[in-house]
């Protein structure tokens, strides 16, 4: 599987010289066929299905990526927002469109987590993940006016008093994190806000005591000093926030629940087209614009592709399902 | 003479009666998968449950009131069918509704361009615009203008249809310079 | 630098050739898109988003701001002329505006609507420019219980404005709220009423319901009655607008503007509840309240002023806090962030020129709107001269595009058409559809504000009455309902008493 993909990936640029002997002729034949096919793809606009409405993290990623993919692919890439059912409506569109490489879409961890609570009829096998391009751990933030300006102080307070945390809902990564904290004796009240804007406003307005969020989504509030990061739920400290301790340092090891965003196509898309897309995404991620974008949203990662990316999606769904069923 | 008119007058009462039945059935069919027993707070069923209860109570009051009105001469049911100022061609209206529904179904099968052209032409013919010198240009220019505006300029991914129709739509879009 | 100098700089920047053309283009696109039945201004802004990639951040905001201001008004053109609201916020304009058109007073109705809208928009743009900071900190004091109370006020106004009997209105409203619960619930992520159909999990959007109920029902009636859409004339001459007409409704415009400015700042609410509440208040305040719905000028002016007054107000939390309160402002946020600009308190310090250029543009757009509105209305009245069958066919196709464009989903088209058939039937038996649409809009808001309020107060139900602002608004809603139902109740009691004696 991986072997064929690598072959196809190389076909557009340089002939594979690893193989030799009797198979050479056959390989050469398959390579020319591959190149011929590669040249007539793409020949018309590729639709980018963004699985959420305009204005959110997935939308920004999809639109930025679409813009940067236009140059390497040489066709226009119109974005269509297909929102609904935690991103599943868009994925259904992606899955049911012809698997010819002319429809690509965003697949993000929030939607994968929703599969664990039974939403949609999509499964990891329905999609071929081209590349996971963004990922970020989540933090607990408190407003600048909070009396608890360190994680220790907040956790200590939570042991004897009610502490309210603004989250995106029950049954999400946010909920799982709070449950794991509660298991360790740090009980916090989950206050779900469906609308992101209201979620961000609630700690700033003093209506909730803290907020669970990835830093990119509240970047403007961090820069303005309105929200202060207390703790990161990851195995290592975040390079952009070297002074913020990990939860493991505070005695509660919570990690592996990072928010990631990927570009995917329906499974069954021809391998050579997947390879062309993977190549284009790799070029886009290398670009200065993308680096500036991911730096601003604290989401820069080394892109994850192929089997590893596919496994990331499947494992994540299983992890959330396991945590929620406890 | 009086008997059928009374019956006719109470046709609108079927609406609250139907809503009452619906409001009593729906709470049991809210979820298509099992719900976990321990939820924080009121749970996802609380709000729609309360609203369906309100709907049931209100429709029951309505039905009761209309039945009461039925027994008293001079009382009217709550709803009265509208009186049109002009004659209303019921058959034409029903045919129009059918055309609209068929159009919706055709959209996903034969694509936006073909379905819309057929619908515009069909509706015009049905509505009395039968001069081919008007009909043909309105249909063709209209459809191409819509395609150009929404698929070309606004970049909307309107349905292209399935199978051969998908191929036809792509050909048409390439012909019109949109793709 | 004071606000005046900064705003002066903003005007200087906005009156350059390209920025000015951008505002005008946006405004025209907005008015036309808003006026087309089916295509709402949110649709138009989402479609315009890719064009902003090539613009500077400021220019993209001028463009989107123009579409926003123009689109919120544009919906009233089709509401007044053909009884099909172009956007949900123009729903109240069909009640008194279309009634005026039927009397042959289409020009007067349009003149009142455009003046009221422009005044409301202008006042709220000025508020945005001068009072952003205090209003932003005021808005932050509002939390979920207050939002819930405001939504209840909206629901109360729906009962208060009804022309039909309260019981019929209530059934329609509650039915709408039930329709709004279809799909994934806001807190628990569970699909409700999906009946095992994955598409149903996406839920039913109010724009789709509105397009179906209003556009399709109206078009089928057009086919069945041989009615034409030509502007009616009385005695061979159309009744135009006089300055006295505008001055006669200045009270309604001012009240509508005030209500719109306040409601606009509440996240999630937006233009439609603002217009509906303004209509309800005006119906109670006006001396001709009982005649509302038959073409009363004040009944048209108040909601028109209110809905455009929400435009500037909705941008207060966006620009000062970086918090978008509605779909339209979320698209503006996207446009800014795609350019790497983060709105919020820092924007005022880092780039005051940009902020004040946007303020100036909002003011300019509202002034220019009078011309743009009248121009597009002229264009539409020319269009109305084409045979009704051709117009009707295109209204249906545009409605289908509009329903599809909400989320690029064919399922929404089917929902829209289903509600079209339903709406036609409802119209036949005289069941009101406006409360249903408002129920679909307000119901989901009420649910999530209610449940989040409880989650944030350890499930304490008294939170709604122990917080002063929320308690005040709820009391207001109660008074409102009683006040509007009182004439009917009093009449019945009086009759009973006379019968007894």
What is the total residue count of chain B? 179
Could you tell me which of A263, A312, A316, A310 has the C-alpha nearest to residue A5? A310
From C140, C201, C344, residue closest to A119, measured CB to CB: C201
Under DSSP, is residue A317 helix (H, G, I), strand (E, B) or coil? helix
Nearest-Cα residue of chain A relative to residue C338? A60
From B32, B52, B58, residue closest to C194, measured CB to CB: B32
Could you tell me which of C200, C443, C42 has the C-alpha nearest to residue A88? C200
pTM of the entire predicted model? 0.87
The whole-number pLDDT of residue C427 equals 87
From C171, C196, C397, residue closest to B119, measured CB to CB: C397
CA geometry: angle at C57 spanning C5 and C52, to 5°?
135
Q: Which chains touch B (3 or more CB pairs under 8 A)?
A: A, C
Contact A194 C53 (CB under 8 A): no
Q: Where are the domains of chain A?
A: 2-39, 47-135+258-325, 139-250
Quick one: average pLDDT of B13-41?
86
Hey, do A47-135+258-325 and A139-250 end up sharing a CATH topology, with the first three levels equal?
yes
Q: Does B69 touch chain A (CB under 8 A)?
A: no
CB pairs under 8 A between B and C: 189
From A63, A80, A118, residue closest to C408, measured CB to CB: A80
Contact A79 B155 (CB under 8 A): yes
Query: At residue A25, does pLDDT exceed 90?
Result: no
Burial classification of residue C337, based on how many CB atoms lie within 10 Å of its CB (0-12 exposed, 13-18 middle, 19 or more buried): buried
Q: How far apart are CA C300 and CA C284, in angstroms?
A: 14
| Class of domain A47-135+258-325 (CATH, top level) | alpha beta
The whole-number pLDDT of residue C230 equals 67
Task: Give the distance from residue A287's alpha carbon to the nearest chain C alpha carbon, in angstroms.
Answer: 15
Q: What are the tokens at A310?
A: 């596919």
Q: Which of A80, A82, A103 to mutate to test the interface with B (most CBs of B within 10 A)?
A: A80
Give the neighbor-by-neighbor strand order of the sheet with A47-50.
Answer: A79-81, A47-50, A103-108, A259-266, A127-136, A300-305
Contact C189 A119 (CB under 8 A): yes
Q: How far apart are CA C442 and CA C33, in angstroms?
A: 24
Chain C hits for B18, CB-CB cut-off 8 Å, are: none
From A84, A92, A114, residue closest to C189, measured CB to CB: A114
Q: Cβ distance C127 to C121 under 8 Å? A: no
From A45, A98, A170, residue closest to B179, measured CB to CB: A45
Chain B hits for C223, CB-CB cut-off 8 Å, are: 89, 92-93, 96, 123, 126-127
Chain B hits for A190, CB-CB cut-off 8 Å, are: 40
The whole-number pLDDT of residue A10 equals 38
Stretch (H or E) spanning A319: helix A306-325
pLDDT (tens digit per residue) in A198-209? 888 899 989 999
Could you tell me which of C414, C395, C409, C423 has the C-alpha nearest to residue B119? C395
Q: How far apart are CA C125 and CA C130, in angstroms?
A: 9
Contact C267 A193 (CB under 8 A): no
The packing angle between helices C297-321 and C271-285, to 10°, is 140
Any bridge partners for residue A304, and if so which? A132
Nearest-Cα residue of chain B relative to residue A118? B33
Q: Where are the domains of chain B?
A: 2-71, 90-175
Contact B15 C429 (CB under 8 A): yes
Looking only at the bridges linking them, the beta strands covering A139-143 and A127-136 are: unpaired
Stretch (H or E) spanning A190: strand A189-192
Contact C192 B16 (CB under 8 A): no
Q: How far apart are CA C23 and CA C359, in angstroms?
A: 12
Task: Give the distance from residue B179's alpha carbon to the nearest chain C alpha carbon, in angstroms.
Answer: 16
**pLDDT grade for A14, boundaries at 50, 70 and 90:** very low
Q: Cβ distance A102 to A253 under 8 Å? A: no
Contact A85 C143 (CB under 8 A): no
CA distances from B118 to A238, A324, B104, C119 (A): 59, 51, 12, 44
Query: At residue A24, does pLDDT exceed 80?
Result: no
The whole-number pLDDT of residue A214 equals 93
Task: Give the distance from residue A258's alpha carbon to the nearest chain B alpha carbon, in angstroms.
Answer: 24
Q: Does B155 touch chain A (CB under 8 A)?
A: yes
Task: Give the distance from residue C203's alpha carbon to the nearest chain A alpha carbon, in angstroms.
Answer: 7
Could you tell me which of C268, C251, C263, C20 has the C-alpha nearest to residue C119? C251
The whole-number pLDDT of residue A11 equals 38
pLDDT (tens digit per residue) in B135-153? 999 999 999 999 999 998 8
Nearest-Cα residue of chain A relative to residue B155? A78
From C178, C424, C455, residue closest to B41, measured CB to CB: C455
Q: Cβ distance C143 to A207 under 8 Å? A: yes
Query: At residue A237, does pLDDT exceed 60?
Result: yes
Task: Give the distance from residue B143's alpha carbon to the nearest chain C alpha carbon, in angstroms.
Answer: 10
Query: At residue A8, does pLDDT exceed 50?
Result: no
CB pairs under 8 A between A and C: 163
Cα C381–chain centre separation = 23
Contact B138 C390 (CB under 8 A): yes
Any bridge partners for residue C237, and if so which? C234
**pLDDT grade for B108, boundaries at 50, 70 and 90:** very high
Q: Which chains touch C (3 or more CB pairs under 8 A)?
A: A, B
Contact B157 A47 (CB under 8 A): yes
Chain B hits for C387, CB-CB cut-off 8 Å, are: 124, 127-129
Third-level CATH fold of A139-250: D-Maltodextrin-Binding Protein; domain 2 (3.40.190)
Q: Cα torsion for C342, C345, C351, C357, to the nearest 10°?
A: 90
Query: At residue A138, does pLDDT exceed 70?
Result: yes
State the DSSP code for A191: E
Q: In tens digits, what is the pLDDT along chain C, a chain of 501 residues?
A: 577 888 898 999 889 999 999 999 999 999 999 998 888 888 889 888 888 888 898 999 999 999 999 999 999 999 998 888 988 889 999 999 999 988 888 888 999 999 999 999 999 999 988 888 777 777 788 889 998 998 998 898 888 877 668 899 999 999 999 999 998 888 888 889 989 888 888 889 888 998 999 888 888 988 888 776 666 655 445 556 677 788 888 899 999 999 999 888 877 667 888 999 999 889 888 888 888 888 899 999 999 999 999 999 888 888 888 878 788 888 898 888 888 887 877 788 778 888 999 999 999 999 999 999 888 988 888 888 888 889 899 999 999 998 998 888 899 999 999 999 999 999 888 898 889 998 998 999 899 999 999 999 988 999 999 999 899 999 989 988 888 777 777 767 777 666 665
- Contacts of residue B24, defined as CB under 8 A and 6 or more positions apart, other chains included, come to B56
Q: Does B45 touch chain A (CB under 8 A)?
A: no
Contact A189 C199 (CB under 8 A): no
Task: Give the distance from residue A55's alpha carbon to the nearest chain C alpha carbon, in angstroms.
Answer: 4
For residue A42, whether the previous peptide bond is cis, meaning omega lies within 30 degrees of 0, is yes
Scan for tokens 């208040």, then name that residue: C281
Q: Which chains touch A (3 or more CB pairs under 8 A)?
A: B, C
Chain A hits for B173, CB-CB cut-off 8 Å, are: 44
State the DSSP code for A299: -
Chain B hits for A45, CB-CB cut-off 8 Å, are: 179
Contact B44 C192 (CB under 8 A): yes
pLDDT (tens digit per residue) in A269-318? 999 999 999 999 999 999 999 999 999 899 999 999 988 999 999 999 99
Task: Give the distance from residue B124's alpha carbon to the nearest chain C alpha carbon, in angstroms.
Answer: 5
pLDDT (tens digit per residue) in B69-90? 877 777 778 887 776 667 888 8
The whole-number pLDDT of residue B3 equals 47
CA geometry: angle at C99 spanning C96 and C102, to 5°?
155
**pLDDT grade for A27, boundaries at 50, 70 and 90:** very low
Chain B hits for C170, CB-CB cut-off 8 Å, are: 58
The whole-number pLDDT of residue C263 equals 87
The whole-number pLDDT of residue A4 equals 38
Q: Cβ distance B124 to B135 under 8 Å? A: yes
Contact C224 B16 (CB under 8 A): no
Scan for tokens 């929620």, then name that residue: A324
Contact B156 A80 (CB under 8 A): yes
From B33, B157, B173, residue closest to A78, measured CB to CB: B157
Q: Cβ distance C202 to A89 under 8 Å? A: yes
Q: Cα torsion for A138, A143, A146, A152, to the nearest 10°?
A: 10
DSSP secondary structure, A112-135, as one string:
HHHHHTT-SS--GGGEEEEEEEEE
Nearest-Cα residue of chain C relative to residue A54? C331
Contact C331 A224 (CB under 8 A): no
Contact A118 B33 (CB under 8 A): yes
The whole-number pLDDT of residue A118 equals 80
CA geometry: angle at C150 spanning C145 and C154, to 5°?
145
From C342, C408, C455, residue closest to A190, measured CB to CB: C455
Query: At residue A22, does pLDDT exceed 50?
Result: no
ipTM over 0.90: yes
Nearest-Cα residue of chain C relative to residue A226? C345
């Amino acid at each position: 599987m991986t072997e064929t993909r690598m072959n196809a990936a190389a076909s557009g640029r340089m002939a594979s010289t690893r193989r030799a002997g009797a198979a050479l002729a056959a390989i050469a034949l398959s390579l020319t066929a591959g190149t011929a096919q590669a040249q007539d793809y793409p020949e018309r606009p590729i639709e980018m299905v963004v699985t959420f409405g305009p204005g959110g993290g997935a939308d920004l990623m999809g639109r930025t990526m679409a813009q940067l993919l236009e140059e390497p692919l040489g066709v226009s890439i119109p974005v269509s927002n297909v929102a609904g059912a935690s991103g599943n409506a868009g994925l259904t569109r992606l899955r049911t469109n012809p698997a010819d490489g002319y429809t690509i879409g965003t697949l993000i961890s929030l939607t994968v987590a929703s599969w664990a609570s039974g939403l949609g009829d999509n499964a990891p096998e329905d999609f071929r993940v081209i590349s996971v391009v963004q990922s970020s751990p989540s933090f607990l933030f408190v407003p600048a006016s909070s009396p608890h300006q360190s994680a220790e102080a907040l956790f200590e307070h939570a042991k004897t008093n009610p502490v309210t945390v603004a989250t995106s809902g029950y049954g999400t990564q946010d909920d799982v994190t709070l449950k794991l904290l509660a298991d360790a004796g740090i009980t916090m009240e989950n206050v779900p806000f469906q609308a992101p804007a209201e979620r961000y406003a609630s700690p700033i307005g003093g209506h909730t005591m803290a907020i669970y969020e990835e830093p990119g989504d509240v970047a403007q509030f961090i820069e303005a000093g309105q929200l202060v990061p207390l703790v990161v739920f990851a195995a290592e400290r975040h390079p952009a926030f070297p002074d913020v301790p990990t939860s493991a340092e505070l005695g509660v090891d919570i990690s592996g629940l990072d928010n990631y965003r990927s570009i995917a196509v329906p499974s069954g898309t021809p391998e050579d087209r997947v390879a062309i897309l993977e190549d284009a995404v790799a070029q886009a991620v290398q670009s200065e614009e993308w680096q500036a974008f991911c730096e601003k949203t604290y989401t820069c990662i080394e892109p994850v592709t192929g089997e590893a990316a596919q496994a990331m999606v499947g494992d994540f769904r299983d992890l959330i399902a396991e945590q929620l069923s406890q | 003479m009086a008997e059928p008119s009374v019956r006719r007058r109470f046709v609108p009462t079927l609406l609250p009666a139907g809503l009452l039945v619906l409001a009593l059935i729906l709470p049991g069919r809210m979820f298509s998968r099992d719900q976990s027993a321990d939820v924080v707070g009121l749970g996802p069923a609380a709000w729609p449950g309360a609203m369906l209860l309100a709907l049931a109570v209100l429709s029951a009051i309505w039905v009761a009131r209309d039945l009461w009105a039925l027994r008293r001469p001079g009382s009217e049911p709550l709803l009265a069918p509208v009186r049109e100022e002009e004659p209303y061609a019921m058959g034409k209206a029903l045919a129009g509704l059918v055309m609209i529904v068929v159009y919706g179904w055709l959209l996903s099968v034969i694509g936006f361009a073909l379905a819309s052209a057929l619908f515009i032409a069909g509706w015009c013919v049905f509505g009395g615009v039968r001069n081919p010198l008007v009909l043909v240009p309105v249909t063709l220019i209209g459809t191409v203008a819509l395609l150009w505006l929404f698929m070309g300029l606004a970049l909307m991914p309107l349905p292209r249809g399935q199978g051969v129709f998908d191929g036809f739509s792509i050909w048409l879009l390439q012909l019109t310079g949109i793709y | 630098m004071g606000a005046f100098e900064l705003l002066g700089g903003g005007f200087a920047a906005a009156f350059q050739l390209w920025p000015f053309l951008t505002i005008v283009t946006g405004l025209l696109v907005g008015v036309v898109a808003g006026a087309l039945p089916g295509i709402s201004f949110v649709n138009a802004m989402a479609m315009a988003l890719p064009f902003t990639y090539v613009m500077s951040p400021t220019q993209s905001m001028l463009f989107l701001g123009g579409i926003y201001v123009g689109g919120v008004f544009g919906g009233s053109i089709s509401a007044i002329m053909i009884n099909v609201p172009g956007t949900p916020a123009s729903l109240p304009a069909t009640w008194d505006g279309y009634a005026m058109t039927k009397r042959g007073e289409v020009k007067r109705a349009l003149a009142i609507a455009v003046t009221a809208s422009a005044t409301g928009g202008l006042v709220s743009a000025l508020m945005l420019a001068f009072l952003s900071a205090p209003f932003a900190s005021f808005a932050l004091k509002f939390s979920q219980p207050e939002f819930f109370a405001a939504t209840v006020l909206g629901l109360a106004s729906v009962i208060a404005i009804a022309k039909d009997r309260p019981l019929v209105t209530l059934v329609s409203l509650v039915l709408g709220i039930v329709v709004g619960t279809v799909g994934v619930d806001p807190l628990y992520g569970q699909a409700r009423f999906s009946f095992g159909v994955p598409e149903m999990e996406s839920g039913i959007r109010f724009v789709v319901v509105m397009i179906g109920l209003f556009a399709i029902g109206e078009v089928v009636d057009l086919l069945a009655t041989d009615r034409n859409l030509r502007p009616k004339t009385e005695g061979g001459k159309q009744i135009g607008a006089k300055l006295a007409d505008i001055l006669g409704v200045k009270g309604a415009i001012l009240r509508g503007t005030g209500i719109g400015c306040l409601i606009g700042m509440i996240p999630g609410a937006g233009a439609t509840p603002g217009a509906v509440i303004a209509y309800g208040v005006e119906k109670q305040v006006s001396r001709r309240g009982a005649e509302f719905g038959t073409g009363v000028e004040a009944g048209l002016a108040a909601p028109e002023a209110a809905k455009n007054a929400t435009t500037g107000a909705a941008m207060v939390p966006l620009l000062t806090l970086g918090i978008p309160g509605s779909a339209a402002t979320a698209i503006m946020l996207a446009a800014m962030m795609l350019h790497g600009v983060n709105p919020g308190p820092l924007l005022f310090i880092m780039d005051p020129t940009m902020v004040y250029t946007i303020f100036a543009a909002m003011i300019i757009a509202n002034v220019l709107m009078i011309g743009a509105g009248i121009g597009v209305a002229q264009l539409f009245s020319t269009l109305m001269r084409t045979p009704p069958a051709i117009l009707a066919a295109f209204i249906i196709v545009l409605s289908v595009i509009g329903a599809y464009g909400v989320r690029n989903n064919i399922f929404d088209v089917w929902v829209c058409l289903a509600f079209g058939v339903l709406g036609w039937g409802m119209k036949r038996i005289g069941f009101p559809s406006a409360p249903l649409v408002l129920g679909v809009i307000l119901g989901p808001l009420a649910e999530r504000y209610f449940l989040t309020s409880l989650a944030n107060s350890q499930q304490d139900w008294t939170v709604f009455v122990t917080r002063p602002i929320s308690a005040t608004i709820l009391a207001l809603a109660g008074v409102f309902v009683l006040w509007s139902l009182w004439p009917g109740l009093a009449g019945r009691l009086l009759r009973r008493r006379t019968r007894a004696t």
